């Protein structure tokens, strides 16, 4: 049961991390250009098809940067980012634009190494608890009424499945 809970939390952390990365890329767009959305950067509407997005992406890669604050390479990278987001995460991006959903600030962003440390800490706590329980049961071997019992065993006894 605990494993399932941990797994669901990891999946949720990963999804939140994806949204944080998306929000960071939107902030990057706003700080470097006067465009409000990646659609505006590519010069397309929100209802554009994947083919139209691709055509606009290809044509913008060939043009020089129209923004004085961006070099041609930075502009090209921003166009590539816009295309990747609209190609892979269009639904999430539209959800962010439409509903104005904002998750955690990127200063608390859960990167993979931080997530590994969180998982390691949780596993360490669970193992420590198990070892303490095991040591107590070994120490109380002679006194059987103080042995720790599993919750499931107690439930089975109440249901008269196990004696």
How many Cβ atoms from other residues are within 10 Å of residue 120's Cβ?
10
pLDDT tier for residue 151 given thresholds of 50, 70 and 90: low
Cα–Cα dist 78/24, whole Å: 12
pLDDT of residue 153: 66
- Asked whether the predicted pLDDT for residue 41 surpasses 60, the reply is yes
Percent pLDDT > 70 in the chain is 63
Structural domain boundaries of the chain?
2-108, 112-158
pLDDT of residue 77: 86
Cα–Cα dist 90/92, whole Å: 6
Alpha helices in 43-111 (DSSP H): 50-62, 72-88, 90-99
Classified by CATH at the fold level, domain 2-108 comes out as Helix Hairpins (1.10.287)
pLDDT of residue 106: 44
Give the highest mean pLDDT range of 2-11, 18-27, 112-121. 112-121
Give the highest mean pLDDT range of 53-57, 85-89, 128-132. 53-57
Contacts of residue 18, defined as CB under 8 A and 6 or more positions apart, other chains included, come to 89, 92
Cα–Cα dist 109/18, whole Å: 10
């Amino acid at each position: 049961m605990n494993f399932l809970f941990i797994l669901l939390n990891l999946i949720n952390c990963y999804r939140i991390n994806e949204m944080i990365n998306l929000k960071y890329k939107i902030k990057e767009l706003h700080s470097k250009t006067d465009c409000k959305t990646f659609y505006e950067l590519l010069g397309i509407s929100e209802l554009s098809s994947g083919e139209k997005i691709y055509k606009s992406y290809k044509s913008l890669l060939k043009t020089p940067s129209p923004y004085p604050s961006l070099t041609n390479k930075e502009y090209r990278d921003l166009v590539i980012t816009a295309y990747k987001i609209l190609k892979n995460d269009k639904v999430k991006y539209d959800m962010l634009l439409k509903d104005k959903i904002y998750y955690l600030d990127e200063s608390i962003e859960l990167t993979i190494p931080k997530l590994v440390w969180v998982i390691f800490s949780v596993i360490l706590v669970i193992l420590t608890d198990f070892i303490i329980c095991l040591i107590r049961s070994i120490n109380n071997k002679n006194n059987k009424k103080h042995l720790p019992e599993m919750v499931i065993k107690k439930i089975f006894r109440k249901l008269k499945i196990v004696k």
